[in-house]
């Protein structure tokens, strides 16, 4: 387990109460030394399964946003970035069996849930994104 990722996720979840998409963006920003601009951060406020609706997982959405930001920074074309996003979605599905929060968090979001129920999944997901990015630079 990547200690930096685990510590970042824990801190962002427990001390800032951020959702998975925002946590993903900020943690990847730390790893790859990319500043997440305030509008991007604000746009990710409801990207935890579409505001809890359990649609596409916020880890996927945060990762896709970061892939666009990072690879644009490296000078990749939009076509190349679109292909990377497709390949990421395919790889994430192969690794985690789904892109949907509905499948990854089968119990949904209820008041009885322990806080930050997806912390372990978030750490594993961000580790996966990091490796995907490093393999495709």
The model's pLDDT over 47-62, given as tens digits with 9 standing for 90+, comes to 998 998 889 999 999 9
Q: What is the structure's pLDDT at 113?
A: 82
Domain interval for residue 110: 3-135
Contacts of 65 (CB under 8 A, 6+ apart): 21, 25, 40, 43, 44
How many CB atoms within 10 Å of residue 45? 12
With 90 as the cut, is the pLDDT of residue 42 above it? Answer: yes
Q: What is the structure's pLDDT at 93?
A: 98
Q: Using an 8 Å Cβ cutoff, are 66 and 28 in contact?
A: yes
Measured in degrees and rounded to the nearest 5, phi and psi for residue 56 equal -60, 135
Question: What domain count does the chain have?
Answer: 1
Measured in degrees and rounded to the nearest 5, phi and psi for residue 100 equal -95, 135
pTM (2 d.p.): 0.95
Mind listing the pLDDT tens digit for each residue in 87-115?
Answer: 999 999 999 999 999 899 877 778 888 88
Mean pLDDT of all residues in 33-53 = 95
Measured in degrees and rounded to the nearest 5, phi and psi for residue 57 equal -60, 140
- Two tokens, residue 66: 């970061």
Q: What is the structure's pLDDT at 109?
A: 79
* Between residues 42 and 117, the one the model is more confident about: 42
With 90 as the cut, is the pLDDT of residue 27 above it? Answer: yes
């Amino acid at each position: 387990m990547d200690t930096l990722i685990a510590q970042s996720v824990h801190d962002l979840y427990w001390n800032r109460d951020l959702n998975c998409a925002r946590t993903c963006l900020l943690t990847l920003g730390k790893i790859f030394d990319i500043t997440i601009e305030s509008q991007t951060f604000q746009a990710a406020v409801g990207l935890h399964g579409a505001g809890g609706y359990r649609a596409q997982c916020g880890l996927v959405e945060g990762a896709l946003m970061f892939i666009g930001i990072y690879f644009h920074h490296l000078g990749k074309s939009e076509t190349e970035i679109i292909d990377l996003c497709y390949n990421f979605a395919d790889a994430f599905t192969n690794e985690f069996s789904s892109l949907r929060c509905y499948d990854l968090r089968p119990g949904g979001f209820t008041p009885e849930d322990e806080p930050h129920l997806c912390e372990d999944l978030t750490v594993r997901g961000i580790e996966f994104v990091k490796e995907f990015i490093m393999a495709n630079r």
